[in-house]
Amino acid sequence: EVQLQESGPGLVKPSQSLSLTCSVTGYSITSNYWGWIRKFPGNKMEWMGYISYSGSTSYNPSLKSRISITRDTSKNQFFLQLNSVTTEDTATYYCARSELRRAPFDYWGQGVMVTVSS
């Protein structure tokens, strides 16, 4: 079965970069689409972007200047980097899989809470 697990610091200072790792077991990230979604306090959810089986990426335009999603196929991991964070980036961050482009997210990680605060 596909399992995803997010990891990374739970506290980031404003203006710094947020870096998270999603470790995938049970399935190769050289197949399908692997995305990041975040949930803000108050329940709003935002799709941030994905990296595809080929390594191509797609980002939410609202983040396009600050976001980067990369991967390490040898470790079956993919990564999120969000630059120049503010308190408005405080959220629970999830990694998830889509079987195809435009498919739903059928497997999710447990999520990691990240607080941006000085």
Partner 1 sequence: DTVLTQSPALAVSPGERVSISCRASEGVNSYMHWYQQKPGQQPKLLIYKASNLASGVPARFSGSGSGTDFTLTIDPVEADDTATYFCQQSWNDPYTFGAGTKLELK
- Is 109 a residue that touches partner 1 (CB under 8 A)? yes
Least distance to partner 1 from the beta carbon of 2, Å?
12
The 3-state secondary structure of 38-89, one letter per residue: EECCCCCEEEEEEEECCCCEEECHHHCCCEEEEEECCCCEEEEEECCCCHHH
Q: Can you tell me which of 104, 114, 116, 118 binds partner 1, judged by CB under 8 A? A: 104
Least distance to partner 1 from the beta carbon of 68, Å?
16
Q: Beta strand 11-12 with 112-116: parallel, antiparallel or unpaired?
A: parallel
Whole-number Å distance between alpha carbons of 56 and 13: 30
Least distance to partner 1 from the beta carbon of 61, Å?
6
CB 33 within 8 A of CB 50: yes
- Is 105 a residue that touches partner 1 (CB under 8 A)? yes
The contact mask relative to partner 1 for 25-54 (x = CB under 8 A, - = no) is: ------------x-----xxxxx-------
Least distance to partner 1 from the beta carbon of 9, Å?
20
Q: Residue 87 — φ and ψ, nearest 5°?
A: -60, -25
- Is 113 a residue that touches partner 1 (CB under 8 A)? no
Residues forming contacts to partner 1 in the complex (CB under 8 A) are 37, 43-47, 58, 60-62, 94, 98, 102-106, 108-111
